[in-house]
Each structure stands twice: as C-alpha cells, then as structure tokens.
Amino acid sequence: MIVVSGHVVTDSELAWRFSRSSGPGGQHVNTSDTRVQLTFDVASSQAFPEHLRQRLLDRLGPTVTVTASEHRSQARNRSAAEERLAAILERALAPPPRKRVATKPSKGSQRRRLDQKKARGQTKRLRGRPSAD
C-alpha cells in the first residue's frame, strides 16, 4: 500500500516481479531473487479521481515501472521501489506551474542599461592609443 497526496494505492493495484540481481555479492546473489520490479497500471487505477488520473496519464503514460536492486535483501528493495514510485506519482500529481505574464522593462532599467553600455564603451575607448593632436 502506497499513500500519495492523501490517496491510497492498494496492493491489488501493484504488480510485483522478482529476479536475480546483478553485480557483486557472491553466492547470495546467485541464489536469491532480490531485484524488484514494481508496475503500477495508471489507466485502470481507482485510487485517484478522474481529473488526477488524467493528469497522471498525460505525464507518465498508462503504466509506470520502477526497478530496485541496490540492496541485498528483497524486503529493502521492495520498500525502495515503493518509495520511488510514490515520489514519481507525487511529482506527476503536482499542479502545473502558473503561466508567466510578460512584462516590459521599466524606463529606469532601460536608462541604467544604456548608461552602463556608454560607460563601458568610454572605458574601452580610453584604452586605445592617444591621438596625434
């Protein structure tokens, strides 16, 4: 069971697969199915209201798959996969950012910018060779 923004995703909506993990570990890795693959079917989920499920579908697609194999035990990989899935769903459920309203630079900022450009040009002109006058 995963709780995301106050909504509960039940275990019946999660599909688990276990396999042997790669990497170092010796005999333990060769005999234990510690790698965890967690799949969540967004399209058929009943955990979220329709508008939130549609937001998830738009941002993540119909299914979300998370894999965890960094721990030596299956239980720790299971909890890591659940945490990762919860974080992904949390980010996808966030409301879209507010639209930026275009604004013009103020008269004062335009004047300051041009004054800085003139001062910089004057500095560069003074670095040149003195005139022959």
pLDDT digits (tens, 9 = 90+) for 14-69: 999 988 877 666 676 667 788 899 999 998 888 889 999 999 999 999 999 999 98
b/e per residue, 89-104, with b = 16+ CB within 10 A? beebbeeeeeeeeeee
Q: Domains of the chain, with CATH numbers?
A: 2-93 (3.30.160.20)
- In angstroms, the CA 89 to CA 86 distance is 5
Copy the structure tokens of residue 119: 């001062």
Cα 22 to Cα 118: distance, rounded to the nearest angstrom: 64
Of residues 16, 5, 2, the one with CA closest to residue 95: 5
